[in-house]
């Protein structure tokens, strides 16, 4: 399945994932929002439905299938302010707050997980779309046998939310946040593969 640039409800105009050399992103089913299965290891069940989207595989302009590397700079997808940086099981997650146009109280949040933030990125830092805020975190000493990748979550809130509420154990059931499927929100071209595709089986 191929999805084209542009999102639902105008979100595609707000969020763009601009990485040089990427013609289209490739997703195995376990990488998608609310997936209950793993794309790594034993391909078993996740402890809870996936809170976002895992970006790892892409096809370049020469039709080669490549992986994100640990040196890949991660650009912020929309203007905003960094409101927090929290630890996750592979690296750190950078939380960026975005105002909602024409709605003073509402907020969107993008969370960039499994990263190594740039030294100048901290709570309170204003960022512009396309600015590199981190690189992909290396596997390090993680007990999870998975390739380095970027996790993205997108959330909506009726009012600004304290960074204390961004906790990976409770984020999906928070009464203050509504997690959104990133695919309709992000303006990018992508292809969703099937589990038995050779690209997915090699992970």
Structure tokens at 102: 């024409």
CA distance 89 to 97: 22
CA distance 96 to 23: 26
Stated length of the chain: 203
Domains of the chain: 2-201 (2.70.70.10)
pLDDT in tens, the chain (203 residues): 433 333 333 344 457 777 878 999 999 999 999 999 999 988 899 999 999 999 999 999 999 999 998 888 999 999 999 999 999 988 999 999 998 877 888 899 999 999 999 999 999 999 999 999 999 998 765 566 788 999 999 999 998 888 888 888 888 888 889 999 998 888 888 999 999 999 999 98
């Amino acid at each position: 399945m191929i999805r084209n640039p542009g999102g639902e409800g105008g979100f595609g105009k707000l969020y763009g994932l601009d990485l040089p050399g990427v013609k289209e992103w490739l997703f195995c089913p376990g990488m998608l929002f609310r997936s209950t299965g793993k794309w790594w290891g034993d391909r078993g069940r996740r402890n809870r439905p996936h809170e976002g989207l895992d970006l790892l595989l892409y096809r370049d302009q020469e039709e080669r299938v490549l992986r994100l590397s640990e040196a890949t700079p991660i650009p912020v997808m929309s203007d905003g302010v960094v409101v927090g940086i929290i630890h996750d099981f592979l690296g750190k997650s950078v939380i960026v707050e975005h105002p909602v146009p024409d709605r003073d109280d509402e907020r969107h949040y993008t969370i960039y997980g499994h990263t190594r933030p740039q030294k100048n990125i901290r709570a309170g830092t204003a960022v512009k779309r396309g600015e590199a805020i981190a690189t992909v975190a290396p596997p390090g000493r993680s007990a999870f046998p998975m390739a380095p990748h970027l996790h993205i979550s997108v959330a909506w809130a009726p009012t600004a939310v304290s960074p204390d509420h961004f906790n990976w154990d409770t984020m999906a059931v928070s009464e203050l946040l509504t997690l959104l499927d990133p695919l309709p929100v992000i303006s990018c071209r992508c292809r969703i593969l099937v589990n038995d595709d050779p690209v997915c089986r090699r992970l």
